[in-house]
């Protein structure tokens, strides 16, 4: 029981640290990180989406809007939110065992 509480508290503190870091480092997004690693793959991914765009055209979905939204998500904020959600699933898993 004590180990479970320590794991949950450490996840909570780490997620809060990541969310606070997201306020200070606003430019660190998924797209920025992807561009700094390999910009050609980012352009290739966009061309791949444009190549198969006609699948989304039937449903009137602007795929570029969703792509830009995904690439603009702050990386620290995303990791912080995920680590806030992990204790919920972890506590369900640990309490059932």
DSSP secondary structure string for all residues of 31-74: HHHHHHH-HHHHHHHHHHHHHTTHHHHTTT--HHHHHHHHHTSB
| Boundaries of domain holding 64 | 29-73
Q: 36 and 68, same structural domain? A: yes
Per the structure, the count of domains in the chain is 2
Q: 85 and 68, same structural domain? A: no
C-alpha 92/C-alpha 95 separation (Å) is 5
Q: 61 and 33, same structural domain? A: yes
The tens digit of pLDDT for each residue in 6-46 reads 888 888 899 999 999 999 998 899 989 999 999 999 889 88
Q: 59 and 94, same structural domain? A: no
Q: 67 and 85, same structural domain? A: no
User: What confidence score (pLDDT) does residue 6 get?
Assistant: 86
Distances (CA, A) of 4 to 1, 44, 89: 5, 44, 12
Distances (CA, A) of 80 to 46, 51, 88, 97: 27, 34, 14, 26
Q: 60 and 38, same structural domain? A: yes
């Amino acid at each position: 029981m004590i180990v479970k509480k320590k794991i949950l508290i450490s996840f909570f503190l780490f997620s809060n640290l990541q969310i606070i870091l997201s306020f200070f480092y606003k430019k660190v997004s998924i797209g920025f990180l992807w561009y700094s690693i390999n910009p050609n793959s980012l352009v290739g991914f966009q061309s791949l989406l444009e190549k198969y765009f006609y699948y989304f055209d039937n449903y009137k979905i602007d795929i570029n809007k969703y792509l830009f939204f995904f690439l603009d998500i702050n990386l620290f904020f995303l990791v912080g939110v995920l680590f806030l959600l992990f204790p919920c699933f972890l506590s369900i898993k640990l309490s059932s065992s």
